[in-house]
Amino acid sequence: MRGSHFAALLTAVLLSPIQDSLATSVFRCVDANGHVTFTRHGCKSDQEQHLQDARNHTPSSGKAIPLANTPKRPKPATSQEDLVIVGQHDDGCGNLISSSERRQAIIRQEIRSGMSRADVESSLGKPDRITRQNGRQRYYYDDKRGKRQQINFDEAGCVKK
């Protein structure tokens, strides 16, 4: 008896129309204000209804799926005008020396106008003595060979020669 039930069930399944299990009906509903809603149950009576194709094609099914077309941006027009620098880095010392000149001076242990206290300390190390007078600072360095060096800074903390 069980065998006949199984055979009847198998026959019913094989003879029934095959449905695309990946397809479903999706409705696109647009109200009077242009608000869009997607639903499987249909739209309200005051909304415009469109049936959407919501099939998920299996990979390698041979059907091409179109990709979104991005608008091409026009190439900017080239001009022969001079380059204008709108913003520039301010080192706080009036940009008297460029960054490459600053690096070279630090490497060579040279002190130049426009360097900051941090630049001087990077070049020569911590000073042996510091004095302050009228908002200005002086760094004093004593060399092992007896050579003394004094570096004067202005109110902004920049080397002043």
Which pLDDT belongs to residue 107? 92
Helices marked H in 81-160: 99-107, 117-124
- Does the pLDDT of residue 105 top 80, yes or no? yes
Which helix (H) or strand (E) is 5 found in, with range? helix 2-15
- Does the pLDDT of residue 11 top 70, yes or no? no
Q: What average pLDDT score do residues 108-117 get?
A: 90
Contacts with 81 (C-beta within 8 Å, 6 or more apart), sequence order: none
Q: Which two tokens stand for residue 108?
A: 């060579």
